[in-house]
Structure formats: structure tokens, C-alpha cells
Structure 1
Amino acid sequence: MNDEAPARTTIFGHQHDRIFDRLAALDPDLAVYIRDFAYDTVYERGGLDLKTKELLACTLLLGLGSPDELKTHLRGAMLAGASEAEVRETLLFAVPFVGFPRVVAAFVQLRSLLDRQGAAENAPPPR
């Protein structure tokens, strides 16, 4: 592992604990396997930067038809430095490989994420 924050901390941002609590509620061993293997082993490998890994994760999850996980990784890609334009291009690139219905569904997830981010940015500050 590198000296920076673990990839999962960047990807999940302030929702890190909520995401892992949800996984642990499904099955504690599953949560540990996902954390230790997927994030603390695979994601921590060198060779690709975190933004690229997250854009690849988005494409793969789009192809699998996994909307909940896709939403998490769309947000993660942006937290890892991908611009909205880069995320859109990544989704559009998938059309010839997975088809329009899955890409349309991915854009629905992206729109939902962007709408929530916009609402949060425009919300009045807490008193």
C-alpha cells in the first residue's frame, strides 16, 4: 500500500463508513473480503492512477448492469479527479460494446448524482 490515503477513502469520501456498514449488514465476511481484496489489494496496485481505475470500474459496472454500484463509482471517479466530461465520454465509449439501454441507464445514474451534488451545493448553510 502507498503512503497516501487508501483508495477506498478517496472513492467513498464522506460515505465510506455508511457503505461499509451496509456491506457488513449484508454479511460481515463479505464486507471484509471487499475491503481487503478489492480495495486494499487490487485498487492499491500501481500501474494505473486512481481516476483511470474508477473510470474502468464505471465501464465494467455499466456492462454488468449494476446501477447501485455504478452510482458509487461514478461519484468515486469524480472524487478521484475525473471531470464530468471525462465521465460522460467514458459512458459514451461503452455504447458499441454494451448497447444503448445500459448506457442510457448509466446516464440516469449520472444525472441523479449531478442533481444531488447541485442540490447540496445550492443548499443554505446550516445554522
Structure 2
Amino acid sequence: MSSRDTIWGTHKEAIEERLKAFHPDLEKYIASFAYETVYDRPGLDLKTKELLAIVMLVSLGNPQELKTHFRGVVAAGGTLQDIEEALLFAIPYLGFPRVIGAFEVLRSMKGFASSEP
């Protein structure tokens, strides 16, 4: 199974259609470069790559893309606690507002609930 299939999981068709709706070539570029070139490189396991992706997306302020990669962490063998720890680790580098926003996205997702009240 490719990294893209693992990360996108049951949402693959919806993600592909969303990207194609922006532009017909966008999904192809993301699939071939981001996943088949970058994600499929050896050296880091998929869970680690997904945790890095989450922190980078938080830094860029891309909450819509966070949902895909939160699910991707779990699909790659990670846990909710892994996600929360990565977000908490990002605070001194990215700031409280960005991390709080990421926790809000995480809290809004069905099947994901913070271990903290």
C-alpha cells in the first residue's frame, strides 16, 4: 500500500475530487511529487512523517489540511496522544494561537477527542 493510500484511507476519493475541483492537475502533482517522491523516501517511518506534516501545517495555518494528516497519523500506527504531544511540542516554536487552533480542529473531528478536558 502506498503512503498516500494509507494516509488518505477511506477519504481518498473525496480528497482526490476536492483537489481536482480546484484544478485538474493539482491532484496529479500532489500524488506524484508529495506522495510518490517525498513521502515514499526511506529514512523516516510514515508516522514520523505525518507528525512532522502536522507541525508544519500548523505553522502555515492550514487547518483544512490538518484533518487529513491527523487521520494519517493514526493510519500509520500513531495515537491521539502522539498527535497531542506533537502539538504541545510546537508551542514554543509556533505559539499558543496556532496550537490552540490545531486542537480545535482535532476536537471537531468525529472519532477524535482530546485526552485532556
Aligned to 1:109: 105
Are 1:64 and 2:75 matched, yes or no?
no
Unaligned runs of 5+ in 1: 119-127
Aligned 1:1-127 pairs, distance under 5 A: 5-113=1-109, 116-117=110-111
**Aligned equivalents of 1:19 and 1:40: distance in 2?**
16
Considering only CA atoms, is the larger Rg found in Structure 1 or Structure 2? Answer: 1
**Aligned equivalents of 1:112 and 1:81: distance in 2?**
21
Count of residues in Structure 1 that have an aligned counterpart in Structure 2: 112
Matched residue of 1:94: which SS? helix
CA offset at residue 58 of structure 1?
Answer: 0.2
**Aligned equivalents of 2:77 and 2:58: distance in 1?**
19
Q: Percent identity?
A: 54
**Aligned equivalents of 1:25 and 1:55: distance in 2?**
27
Q: TM-score, normalised by structure 2?
A: 0.92
Unaligned runs of 5+ in 2: 113-117
CA offset at residue 71 of structure 1?
Answer: 1.4
**Aligned equivalents of 1:39 and 1:89: distance in 2?**
25
Structure 1 outlier segments of 4+, above 2 Å: none
